[in-house]
Amino acid sequence: MDTAKTNNEINWLLLDQMTDLTAAVCMGRDFLAAYSEGKLTLLQIMARLRICNHSLILSLYKVWEIRDKYNQHLYSLDKAYVDPLFSYAKEIDKRNINKFRGRYAAHIWDLKDKPISLIEAQILLDTITGENNSKVEEFYDWIWLDGKPCVVTALHDLINYLRTLPGGDFARF
């Protein structure tokens, strides 16, 4: 595959995920703050966080997919920029994000062709995001905490590095 074209593809795919992750974390934090200020009911916060968290699950899965699809090319790049991506991809696996995406966030039928159980989905989601709002905040911090090591910072640094390479500054494909 053409190196410049591959650098361009990875750059834009990561940029999309970085943007989506940042937006969903911001919205989730805003909803948590509104709930703690009494501006949202329990049902309102649950519905809003469900949307934010499902968006985060899908975007994190896409980060994992990028690492998987472009694995060979990424190994040819500077380890200082790609190792954090590999590390977060392993953590995405470890946290069962891929499992949640495959079984609940992207489908309405389970493996036995029956409607998915929202109760089972919530149990798995709680293992990913945490069972209470402070744990959800920790999950959000793992994804994006300005100026700290996190998924978004790793993506940002890799994007900036890719832009110095052939194809990294090409227009969107």
Give the mean pLDDT per block of 10 residues along the chain (173 residues). Answer: 93 98 98 98 94 96 98 98 98 93 83 86 89 93 96 98 95 87
pLDDT at 117: 84
DSSP 8-state code for residue 39: S
8 A C-beta contact, residue 163 and residue 22: no
Domain range annotation of the chain = 3-162
pLDDT at 120: 86
Distances (CA, A) of 165 to 34, 162, 173: 43, 5, 16
Q: What is the CA radius of gyration of the chain?
A: 17
pLDDT at 100: 87
State whether residue 115 is helix, strand or coil: strand
Q: Which CATH number applies to 3-162?
A: 1.20.120.1060
pTM, full prediction: 0.92
pLDDT at 62: 98
Dist. CA 90–CA 115, nearest whole Å: 30
pLDDT at 111: 82
Q: Which of 152, 145, 154 is nearest to 83 (CA)?
A: 154
pLDDT at 162: 98
pLDDT at 1: 63
